[in-house]
Amino acid sequence: MPTDAYVLGLDTSTVATVGLARGGTVLGRATAPDRMRHAEQLIVLVDQVCAEAGIDLRDKTLDRRLVVGVGPGPFTGLRVGIVTARTLGLTLGVDVRGVCSLDVLAAQAVAAAAPAGEFVIATDARRREVYWARYDAAGRRLAGPDVGSPDSVPDLPCYGPATAVYPERLTGAGPELILDGGAVAAAGPELPDVGLEPLYLRRPDAVEPSRPKSVLATNRRRS
């Protein structure tokens, strides 16, 4: 990706967060903490960061790109972020790159804490579980993403939102890191492209009901 491109980054794997960057420098960022209103908040945040940077993404003379975090995260939140990114990409006529949201947090951890060796990123998956992945000191993913109990996470320094939820069950819990839309935009172009399929890691809670059993067939077996 050209370093002079304006990159809009979106992520809804935890909170709704948006950022705008150019050449790795963050030009604007905005986050809305209400997890229940992603659909209402996301476009508002996009308008906010563009206004902050004085950029109109509809200007076709600009080199523009989109990066979206695809999780892991809850079904509804991820769907909102990815659908919004796809729609913006079609509207603006620009490419959309999907990145693992945990990879973004790993880039934030490297910048903020400079880990001396391998470390783990963990986010709250609810149901007393966490989403996690293991990284080397440079922030390259070595294992995961996966979902499981906090006790299943490797015994390594840990960063991410889950450290505030399970401080006693995650070894070496470091500073709580909240996913930053500015980091999605700044680091996203250099992170592995994982496509635009959401990383649920779980089956959605809402599933199609199974076909009801035939009462007639049951009665025939009994007769």
| pLDDT, tens only, 20-74 | 999 999 999 999 876 666 667 899 999 999 999 999 999 999 999 999 999 999 9
**Sequential DSSP letters for 30-65:** EEE--TT-HHHHHHHHHHHHHHHHT--TT-TTS-EE
Distance CA 101, CA 97 (A): 12
pTM given for the model: 0.88
pLDDT value of position 84: 95
CATH number, domain 6-100+180-190, options 1.10.10.10, 3.30.365.10, 1.10.3720.10, 3.30.420.40: 3.30.420.40
pLDDT value of position 211: 53
Nearest to 113 by CA among 198, 188, 174, 201: 174
pLDDT value of position 208: 47
CATH number of 103-165: 3.30.420
**Beta pairing partners, 133:** 121
User: The tokens 């505030």 sit on which residue?
Assistant: 164
The tens-digit pLDDT sequence of the chain (223 residues) is 446 899 999 999 988 999 999 999 999 999 987 666 666 789 999 999 999 999 999 999 999 999 999 999 998 889 999 999 999 999 999 999 999 999 999 999 999 999 999 999 999 999 899 999 999 999 999 999 999 999 999 999 999 999 999 998 987 888 778 999 999 999 999 999 999 999 999 755 444 444 544 444 445 455 4
The interaxial angle of helices 38-53 and 75-92, nearest 10 deg, is 40
Burial class (CB in 10 A: 0-12, 13-18, 19+), 48: middle
Domain coordinates in residue numbering, the chain? 6-100+180-190, 103-165
**Beta pairing partners, 117:** none
Same fold, 6-100+180-190 and 103-165: yes
Burial class (CB in 10 A: 0-12, 13-18, 19+), 154: middle
**Beta pairing partners, 19:** 9, 29
pLDDT value of position 172: 81
pLDDT value of position 205: 46
Could you tell me the CA-to-CA distances from 164 to 80, 180, 198 in Å, in that order? 25, 17, 25
3-state DSSP call for residue 1? Answer: coil
pLDDT value of position 132: 97
Burial class (CB in 10 A: 0-12, 13-18, 19+), 82: buried
pLDDT value of position 37: 64
3-state secondary structure 143-211: EEEEEECHHHCCCCCEECCHHHHCCCCCCCECCCCCCCHHHHHHHHHHCCCCCCCCCCCCCCCCCCCCC
